[in-house]
Amino acid sequence: MGFFSRTFNFFRIKKSLAIDLGTANTLIYDRQKKKIVLNEPSVVAQDRKTKKVIAVGKEAREMLGKTPDSIIAVKPLKDGVIADFDVTREMLRLFLHKIYGRSPFKPEVMICVPLEVTSVEKKALFDSITGAKKVYIIEEGRAAVLGSGVNISAPEGNMVIDIGGGSTDIAILSLDEIVVSKSLRIASNTFDDDIIKYVKKKYSLLIGERTAEKIKKELGTAIPLEEEEIIDIKGRDLITGLPKTVKLSSNEIYEAIRDSLYEIINNTKEVLEKCPPELVVDILDNGIVMTGGGSLVRNFTNLMEEETKINVFLAEQPLESVVLGGGLAFDNRNLLRTLQMKENT
């Protein structure tokens, strides 16, 4: 049975859903209810032997790195793309069941995907959505601009940098179309990996993914701070094998993530260099919108502004702009025509 078929087979009444199937979080926007009805981590806990799903979302995330041998907690999406189709389908089925129970509706679905998802991945994705009435696929970059309140149908250039968990999408749009774009596999999860490596090298301390993420959110900064912040971090000493606590400062975390921050900045400059001159003028006027969880690293918008010499704005809801944009895309008839991938009658 196809990827989404079991998920959507029982839907019959009209419903429009935008789904942001993110590496870190899955969000579902219900157009009729005009709100986000689900926002949960993209994590699944399975029985190691039978592969039976035990928990999804928040509950499964709590189990990451803490499961007994018989249970594994997995992230079915990696680097912004689906790494395990079966588990992703099951996760989505359970999420939808959680919100709608066994409601007999057959939705039209807008799926938000990273800019550079391969045509094979796209095909596999929409081929398998057999239970949905219509399927649209929208690039996250385009959805993010829409969701940040920008009118992408106007004949003027707009630029967005969407830094998610597994992928960063940089795009310049005009007249509903993407004019220049780039997708990187360097994003906010890369900052976590950088922190794990830094702490291991400098302090011989082993920390887990969740601790690294917490450090990033609390101490992460894209510009060194004059008044340093310091927190205690617990992990396992690689030499003695015993638990150990060390003090980490915000400027050490800056040092740890600096190279990845600059990768994103340098790629942004490359996209700007490829942009037609007329649109660059618009971007100078309109500024750049940064969105996605990674854009929340302290001072990142300031550093981007300093490096590109263009005004940079943080989207109002950086963690939600993609799915909100996916929902808004249903209202744009011209855009819809270009996004439709499949219709089931």
Ligand X SMILES: Nc1ncnc2c1ncn2[C@@H]1O[C@H](COP(=O)(O)OP(=O)(O)OP(=O)(O)O)[C@@H](O)[C@H]1O
- Positions at the binding site for ATP: 23-25, 165-167, 213-216, 293-296
216 contacts ligand X (rule: CB under 6 A): yes
Q: If you ran DSSP here, which 8-state letter would residue 179 be given?
A: E
Q: Report if residue 80 touches ligand X, rule: CB under 6 A.
A: yes
In this chain, which of 15, 22, 135, 205 binds ligand X, going by CB under 6 A? 22
Structure tokens at 164: 């998610």
| CB nearer to ligand X: pick between 152 and 315 | 315
In this structure, the strands spanning 77-78 and 71-74 are unpaired
Phi, psi angles (nearest 5°) of residue 303:
-65, -40
- The least distance separating ligand X from the CB of residue 26, rounded to whole angstroms, comes to 8
Nearer to ligand X, 7 or 260 (CB): 260
Asked if residue 76 lies in contact with residue 83, where contact means CB atoms within 8 angstroms, the answer is yes
Smallest gap from Cβ 75 to ligand X, in A, equals 10
Q: Give yes or no for residue 297 binding ligand X (CB under 6 A).
A: yes
Among the residue ranges 15-23, 50-58, 194-202, 203-211, the one whose residues contact ligand X (CB under 6 A): 15-23
Which residue numbers belong to the known binding site?
Answer: 23-25, 165-167, 213-216, 293-296
Sign of CA dihedral 198, 204, 205, 207: positive
* CA atoms 297, 307, 151, 135: torsion sign: negative
β-pairing verdict for 71-74 and 53-56:
unpaired
Name the residue nearer to ligand X (CB basis): 167 or 268: 167
Among the residues of 181-320, which ranges form H helices?
188-203, 209-219, 250-273, 277-286, 300-308
The residue range among 68-76, 86-94, 171-179, 293-301 that interacts with ligand X, by the rule CB under 6 A, is 293-301
Cα–Cα distances (Å) from 232 to 66, 77, 170, 247, in that order, read 21, 31, 35, 5
Q: Which of residues 176-195 bind ligand X (CB under 6 A)?
A: 187-189
217 near ligand X, judged by CB under 6 A? yes
Q: CA–CA separation, 170 vs 144, rounded Å?
A: 10
- As measured in angstroms, the least distance from the Cβ of 108 to ligand X is 21
**Spatial distance between the Cα atoms of 149 and 316, rounded to a whole number of angstroms:** 9
Decide whether 290 or 335 has the Cβ nearer to ligand X. 290
Position closest to ligand X via CB: 293
Task: Select from 76, 166, 325, 327 the one that contacts ligand X (CB under 6 A).
Answer: 166
155 three-class SS:
coil
The single-letter code of the amino acid at 227 is E
**Least Cβ distance, residue 21 to ligand X (angstroms):** 7
Site of interaction with ligand X (CB under 6 A) = 20, 22-25, 80, 140, 164-167, 187-189, 213, 216-217, 220, 292-294, 296-297, 319
